[in-house]
Structure 1
């Protein structure tokens, strides 16, 4: 989840569960469906969320062998987890830019408005507070000891979002498409009792999918054959009934024709998935990331929780100038309030240039206009990249759509395979 705030638009991922092996390390992995919030299968389908593009998303998890499905909703994705005994359904934002899995809990002293009931730990027979001396208490760097000797936490997201509460262990239950339920015991999560920010009423928390020790990816790794996962996100404005996919474990790695890869760059902060972008070509015209030609390793990170791609001001100015020069139309003025600064009027999909993102190692990822121009309003298409004042940037989910993107965290590589996600 990046630092810039884009509003609250939500997509519901329903991970439709798979069968997990009883013994850890044996299963080759599982897949889940990510269901769009406006899908008939979504509990929020009757609600309208035509707000500004938010930086968070949602997924609803489910497991079955080798692949998962995900559905898109105006730039956001939700994930469903059932926690506790009896199982309590939680719809949290799926976020590769953070680690902590948390939900709003009662009593909630300073919580944002939530449509569904909040999780009540007193009603679960499998809930247990994490003690102060537990190793996991300090895994996110903010664990402190309460007077009751439980592990309190504070976790922020770079903007107005903040969650505070108690770290705990719980059973997470995932139900397969055939109706079978699989329970995963002793998953560490945050029971949030004071949560603030620009969350909307359907977002019951966040499912952290980053590289840190407490992320769902890291906690599932020993159970699914390795720290590997992949997803295929629907493009903006895809029919919400069509599901995207997310997979965990050995079977999640992509292969075949068209696959390119780039190294993940290790930094002190283990949560973000850092990559190195050397430049972006607009048609045949290369726009280098840096005017000086010197590119810092790990200058961007991959984030499913941020819809637009965010790039430094100098790079953005040069890139936009080249994009404008290759579109024989006059831009629409006064759209900066939506966060987008380059927009065009068009009754059909904008016929803009193809952009190619050049990653370290020679990987070239070609982005079509449907991935680089999105319609925030009817008959208006805006360039889905924005400027930031920092030296680095964020590779957002608009640019990640219609690719099978696979992370091999053991080999520190991320793979891209151009894919029609509506057919996968």
Structure 2
């Protein structure tokens, strides 16, 4: 997910893009308050800036929510909980703020800057204002921002600084002061009422990861996303800094590829195997371009260049002993099957440079409605694709921005609490 891009013309799509076949078009869409997903932990303040040794790992609960993952952060003094979409494909951290001139409906209370003693607006004369391309000066000398996404979702407001509070592995509070975020006063688009905003976890200068820097003992983080349709009362955790490394038996790693655009986490995809059939990225044995995919927790499906996508779809059809459904307008042109039992599809192996990542049907065959399973992939005309959150589920994935690698470890994320 990134700003100002069209899904059908480039590979970067918005966090709020969910194809119609993955939207909550059936059953009960009332999934409850996200706040009920979070276990309360008593804690004492524990500032980390300037800490010479980090013996605790800051964490944040993450819960599944209609194809997205909501991450809990506390901002302000006293701490105020927000629940933003965890998004490795964008940078800006923002939440809806009072007074809200034009906001979408939100179930949880809205952040009120007046009630926080640590809140301060970013001056338009500050270098911080110019870190965001859309930062402009208001008559009050505040830094106003506009941040738009590919689905036509948009947030507008004031850039500000706040204290962010996380909870460590030992239950103590971990404070990060002076974090720049967007206090959104005018927000619209495809957000649902459980989402208070977005937490940008990309590699650009305004992201939460870049702003935390080495404060937690290293510029690295890890995530474990529960599969789609996991009970909303089950959640996992995102870990930051020292202690978030992914290691041990079964770990495979692939290099991060540095490009001019610092936000996406680019990696190199060599090909995909459907069962035992290997499909080269380019359709031949020729070399592939480095950095031809990026990992985006804010995009549900995996998006492949059309020439690869078509071959993957054809091979899945070849290996599934059922006829695809073609009579449901809700499913569009996607590869879907109608069955009252769990679809027994082939195993897929994603061949990244140096890392073979095996995907089971729960990660690739998604059920958007009762008795229907669809391949959780779609296509793009671009030569660069997106590795979406369906495929990232049930893997502990570590992003080490110092070693410039991404590591994968197969994990039951429903037990990673």
What TM-score, normalized by structure 2, do the two folds share?
0.86
Deviation at 1:92, TM superposition (A): 1.1
Q: Distance in 2 between matches of 1:393 and 1:327?
A: 25
Secondary structure of the corresponding residue to residue 279 of structure 1: strand
Secondary structure of the corresponding residue to residue 246 of structure 1: strand
Q: Distance in 2 between matches of 1:338 and 1:27?
A: 49
Deviation at 1:28, TM superposition (A): 4.8
Over 3 Å counting, the alpha-carbon distance change for 1:238 and 1:111 in structure 2 is: closer
| 1:166 equivalent in alignment to 2:193 | no
Over 3 Å counting, the alpha-carbon distance change for 1:356 and 1:22 in structure 2 is: closer
| 1:398 equivalent in alignment to 2:390 | yes
* Conserved 8 A contact 1:15-1:79: no
Q: What residue number does 1:30 align with?
A: 57
**Structure 2: where are the runs of 5+ without partners?**
2-11, 25-30
| 1:355 equivalent in alignment to 2:381 | no
Q: What residue number does 2:257 align with?
A: 265
- Which has the higher relative contact order, 1 or 2, with Cα contacts under 8 A spaced 6 or more apart? 2
Over 3 Å counting, the alpha-carbon distance change for 1:417 and 1:333 in structure 2 is: same
Q: Which moved more, 1:235-244 or 1:141-150?
A: 235-244
Q: Distance in 1 between matches of 2:208 and 2:40?
A: 16
Q: What residue number does 2:7 align with?
A: none
Over 3 Å counting, the alpha-carbon distance change for 1:209 and 1:178 in structure 2 is: same
Secondary structure of the corresponding residue to residue 125 of structure 1: coil
Over 3 Å counting, the alpha-carbon distance change for 1:28 and 1:389 in structure 2 is: farther
Q: Distance in 2 between matches of 1:139 and 1:194?
A: 21
Q: What residue number does 1:50 align with?
A: none
| 1:140 equivalent in alignment to 2:132 | yes
Deviation at 1:398, TM superposition (A): 0.9
How many residues are paired up? 388
Q: Distance in 2 between matches of 1:402 and 1:147?
A: 49
* Conserved 8 A contact 1:339-1:386: no
* Conserved 8 A contact 1:227-1:410: yes
Q: What residue number does 1:337 align with?
A: 330
| 1:325 equivalent in alignment to 2:325 | no
Deviation at 1:164, TM superposition (A): 1.3
Secondary structure of the corresponding residue to residue 204 of structure 2: coil
Q: Distance in 2 between matches of 1:339 and 1:390?
A: 21
Query: CA RMSD for the aligned pairs?
Result: 2.5
* Conserved 8 A contact 2:58-2:166: no
Q: What residue number does 1:152 align with?
A: 144
* Conserved 8 A contact 2:58-2:167: no
Secondary structure of the corresponding residue to residue 258 of structure 2: coil
Q: What residue number does 2:207 align with?
A: 215
| 1:204 equivalent in alignment to 2:196 | yes
Over 3 Å counting, the alpha-carbon distance change for 1:191 and 1:339 in structure 2 is: farther
Q: What residue number does 1:300 align with?
A: 293
| 1:131 equivalent in alignment to 2:123 | yes
Q: What residue number does 2:234 align with?
A: 242
Match of 2:13 among 3, 6, 10: 3
Q: Distance in 2 between matches of 1:160 and 1:97?
A: 16
Match of 1:382 among 374, 387, 410: 374
